[in-house]
Chains A and B, each alone.
Chain A
């Protein structure tokens, strides 16, 4: 969580210049008092300078709800080397960092899979982290989400493609737009093994015995590219964006891309 705050802080600074002013509880304008305003809203300091009474308006928008989810399946608990984080760890980091940024911007966050719980405010990162830790589903569960909200799904998307397609379709049908963030280990991209290797899945998919991994590398990459193309296609159909993040890359880059994408509305579907 500390890492998430730290990563979020660097991104918040990075996007500060481009941010629109007045988001949140900062000053927006003074306007003349009109009938129906509560007397308590009069800004006396401003009103004393003239004959009229003024009300101080803050910028106030209905907070956007962003629904977050990360894959909890066993395949996320993996890393190829000691220097790398596990995919789940990195996905959680990104999720919490995005949430932290959103909290600073005054948005509220829901977790898909934790129904009825809304997180908001700067202090909400900790309860969010506790809730994320219990997510175990490999596919986003069907849930009723606020319409027109945003969703960000973190997963390696190496499981059943049709389940992903169905889940994203369900979200799209609730007018939820968002992003699919595929978190992959570098070894899953490069397949850096050699010789005769028996590959064992982490979710009881079975074993693949490959006599010369070097020879199979090209085919594997093609299969991975094919999978990613399918994911892009699913995302595009639902009006989602698709991002790829590799765990050996610094999380800030992915966070910045993700946050920018969230700040600018997705191209209308």
Chain B
């Protein structure tokens, strides 16, 4: 990379014209196909998210139809349109697709589009990572689609209970592929969470303190925090599961001392926050739309926010209410009953706040308001029926029945209802055209009838066991009503698709603000907004939104260690190519140059995601760490290698690509004022990595306790190699510090030598570890030997994968330093150092746990 980039055109002209960046690549207009592959603009990415998620809605919806057809009557063996395994696949894929590939991405489409506008930012902090999130999401969905054609997809339910989730019981390759698709999806979510959190904490306009954030942005902020931690826990569960399926470890095997229970803990620790992760954005839409169409500010705004913050925190302490019938004891049940009731109360407050907002208002029943109003109504029913489940004695009987199914569909599809309202609400902003109001209202009417016809009878037929299609005949009428409702609800979306598709092209042109009384900043710019959102710098310094010319911007006082208005380098993502856990490590590598306009195009997020897709597809048929015999196995192995090359190549290309994040004048940045974006991003990422390792260590401790703590003989009986490695890693932390000092002193060879030494020490660590493992293998110990071996190899293996990822980065940094980089700006070295210290600290926990205790 040469740091001397020519000046580029600032492409602030609506995005419809062709802009040029410094590489001479065109940034094509929205009519061009190419634009959508290279774009890193948050509004484009938002639209991509929305369109893609609607596609998955249709897919998940068709699966639901298949289930509802099967459920039209109680079916004996061989009756109905689905064979038993096919039914289980439909149930599982429907749940997974709707929860993961539709609901959250649909909401994050809006988040992508609207949040930077509400913040007064020109884009997200790391635009390329944002594009990467999208492409990882799309490719994870494609991978899930592929799983249907590999002997059948996963059939163990969206909760994936152990040990049904291991190949002993679900041997299809497609089942492994579905799990790997989820891993890729989690990578997307992690990258996205880091990006949103950095952006939302660091890039708010002057005067826009967190307290002043619009409610939709508030819900996204809290959602992103919950996602960061909850999905890291899910990643731990999924990596262990992938390892059980592909490498042959035995965490969740039937014989494992507490494998089934371990899965329920890991899954629900993620699973309950996930409920709020999908619901919060809907709540944000409700709050915004209620205020706009009643013409009143929300009642008790700060209590509303406080309630949400409490829920977000407490959501990590209620997971065992999904496990009331497992072997947990009465004390634990009592505790979780209390936290569960506790977490329901803030929602009461939010519901009342929304209702009271209507009072004395001037309510306009437009399509967005109808949907959001309907959503609140549905949520009230979902909430009341949820209180039933909070009473443990009732939960005992509702467990595994359609009461649960009906309840969570009222809540979650209630959330969808609000998000559909959001789609109508922001459609004019996104397309610059109005939708047809009559068709919108018609959609609502059909949707609302269909919804209640589908889900309400399920309360009446609650004695039906979940995921069963042979039910008591007297319940059949209710199931028939539900099936009819399912078709009404599904078909209502045809009205929406027709309306929105047509209106996007021939609808009436939308003004900047088509909704009287809307207050948030996205309505203060044109529809659609210009490529870089604002002409001039948005500020709230006088208590309301104003746009300042560049000259008027007050210098920030000692807030930033970089020059005001400096282009912020975008973080390239560097991932462990070996494990293909693409969110493993991130390292901003591009250099900050002169003050320049931001970039908007990069093809590498797309290529990188395609590479990761190929790697995981290639790995899917592994069993006991071996590819199947013959041509098929060879083809899969080739795919893995090809994917690995593409992944690694695009990582390097992305690191070398001159790419400049959005220019921003620092405004409100609590609590990260004075720390640059890259560093904040790295810290946030490491926080999620802490949870990932926490999940692994928790799994180890849990398994060991179930096994009998003292009866558990540590697998490496000889602690000496581990001890040696501890010293090696500690030394390498020291050399990283030296590297940073050398870079800051502009001492080129000191930097190269220190980085090189770090690299060599890391290699030493791996060689020593390799010898140790070789020795253990010779002793006849393998990952699948027993659960002690499984936990040792997998946990230290995950750490080794982090070391390898670090070494890839170290090698890259060394090569660049050799050519003179980092002397002007040592931040990349600093970020790498953070990562490396973290990896060392993890080892300081692993060593005593696995070698000594």
Partners in one complex: no
Query: Which residues does A use to contact B, with CB under 8 Å?
Result: none
